[in-house]
Structure 1
Amino acid sequence: MDEFQDSSKHQYYLFLRISEINIICWAIGDVQQSIFRFANKSSKYLIDLLSIKKFKQYTMNINYRCHASIDLYGRKLLGYDVEPIKDSRIYKIGIDGNETDIGLWFERNIKQMISNFGVNKNSEIGILSKKDLTLELFLEKVNLPHKIFKKNDFGRSPITL
């Protein structure tokens, strides 16, 4: 079962029951990537599996999902001491103002960013925020076509503006 760090209690017990009838079971996940707490899902079930003797932990330490600089940045955010790499794709830009000002800056610079980063379609661009309000303020004066997914919109169609 992939993304086991986002399992519910019921999924966890179902996984255990299946394993009890001698079906080989794999739980794959990363406790640092649990994102569905709002839906009562938790990485604690993945952690609990490690205390059960019949399950063996295998560490996957090679990243195949994203560019190395993105992985490095994530580790840095989590507090790990990391060495910078030459081909970084993470950039820090200081913008004076609030979220609305950042949105205006983004709109003024989007064509240059698309050119610099080899973006083929606008649908390849994503803006993430912890709170819906942050995105709403970011988009307040932006006049670009976009879709917004709010926290409570999982399983629904995006809002096209």
Structure 2
Amino acid sequence: MATAVGYRMFALGVCGILLVGLFVLAGAGYPTPPSPGPDLADPDVDPSDLAGDQVETGGIVIETDPVIIEIDGDTATQTLPIENAPDVDVGQEVIVDGTITADGTLRVNRDRAVVREPWEATYMYAISVLGALFVALRIADGWQFDLKTISFSPRDVPLHHSLSEDETDG
């Protein structure tokens, strides 16, 4: 019996090492580009100095005629006019790529632009948390962990059935 627990612990350790190895391998397979491009939020960067350069950036739309986005950086915020922008409203987040013109405007490829509403990221995280809680509750309801054998086994009676029987008994 003790050897079965030892084998399971060894197998669990091997699986953990393999999982970490896969994370490292995935990270090594996608190196960062050699030139990530200029930080347009940096106050020292003047977009007109980058005329002809291809850039990708994103920000919050603060004006729609013409479209102007506010780019937040680590230390500063800067505005950038957008030419050939997709249909956007003030307050939406937009991610665009294109070429900087001589006057400092970003001429974008409107087909590749991504427009998001401000609530979409919050919605995504809220749904993910609710889904994770639902799965955790389902696992706790139907399965139990045995420390002696280091294994999960199905419960004879689901937790919610045993709790409801306790309420009806008293």
Given the two structures, how large is their TM-score scaled by the length of structure 2? 0.25
Q: Which has the higher contact order (CA 8 A, sep 6+)?
A: 2
Q: Whose Rg is larger?
A: 2
Normalising to structure 1: TM-score of the pair?
0.26
